[in-house]
Amino acid sequence: MQVALANRLIEIICDHAASTYPHECCGLLAGRVDADTATITAVHPSDNITQGDPTRGFEVDPKLRFDVMRALEAQADGTEIIGHYHSHPDHPAEPSKTDLAMVYEPAFIWLICASTSAGAQDLGAFRANADVSGFDQLQIITAE
Is the Cα dihedral 51, 130, 126, 70 positive or negative? negative
Q: pLDDT tens digits, residue range 40-81? A: 999 999 999 999 999 999 999 999 999 999 999 999 999 999
Share of the chain above pLDDT 90, in %: 98
Q: Do the domain assignments include residue 53?
A: yes
In whole angstroms, what is the distance from residue 95 CA to residue 75 CA? 32
- Across 85-100, average pLDDT: 96
What is the domain extent for residue 46?
A: 14-134
In whole angstroms, what is the distance from residue 135 CA to residue 110 CA? 9
Q: Do the domain assignments include residue 2?
A: no
Taking phi over 0 as left and psi of -120 to 50 as alpha, with beta for the rest, 141 belongs to beta
Q: Which residues of 98-128 are buried (b: 16+ CB within 10 A; e: fewer)?
A: ebbebbeeeebbbbbbbbeeeebbebbbbbb
Q: pLDDT tens digits, residue range 12-47? A: 999 999 999 999 999 999 999 998 999 999 999 999
* pLDDT higher than threshold 90 for residue 144: no
Q: Do the domain assignments include residue 85?
A: yes
Number of structural domains found in the chain: 1
What are the C-alpha distances in Å from 125 to residues 13, 63, 76, 83? 12, 25, 27, 10
State residue 1's pLDDT score: 93
State residue 143's pLDDT score: 80
Q: Do the domain assignments include residue 26?
A: yes
CATH of the domain at 26: 3.40.140.10
CA atoms within 13 A on the CB side of 19: 11
